[in-house]
Amino acid sequence: MPVTLINPPKQTVIRKVPIVTERDVVAFYPFAAADGTFVFVDPDGFVADPAYDLGVVLRDWCPELLAGDAVELADRYCRLLAEHTGIDRAAIAEWGFLERVSSGLHILELGRPDLAAPFLETAELLAEQGPP
């Protein structure tokens, strides 16, 4: 069922078809489907924007982003995902950024600043460019 999100102050209307998504890509449980393909199931899935899962994938590419031009590389990853999925590049980039920040803050809260640093450092590099 499509969902309409309206933000009158920004004069924005977004119509999306939500998907059932996984909490985290590493939580996937693969099952063989009748047609020979595989289906990934997470018992704690939830309904989300279709770009959400792609943003989760982008979140974990911190070493690659820190090793080069973070903005150019992140944009290239987002364009590639958008081209192959038909999902909006900007939405993928926004979810990737949010996932990067929320993961970094959560890891900080768990008392591991060393593990949080790459997420937050790459988020800062990407924030300097402005919105996708």
The domain spans of the chain are: 1-48, 50-132
- Go through the chain and tell me how many residues it has: 132
In the prediction, which pLDDT does 27 show? 47
In the prediction, which pLDDT does 128 show? 84
List, for residues 15-47, the tens digit of each pLDDT value.
554 455 555 544 455 666 677 776 655 555 667
In the prediction, which pLDDT does 36 show? 72
**What is the average pLDDT value for the chain, to the nearest integer?**
78
Q: Which residues pair with 70 in a beta bridge?
A: none
In the prediction, which pLDDT does 35 show? 76
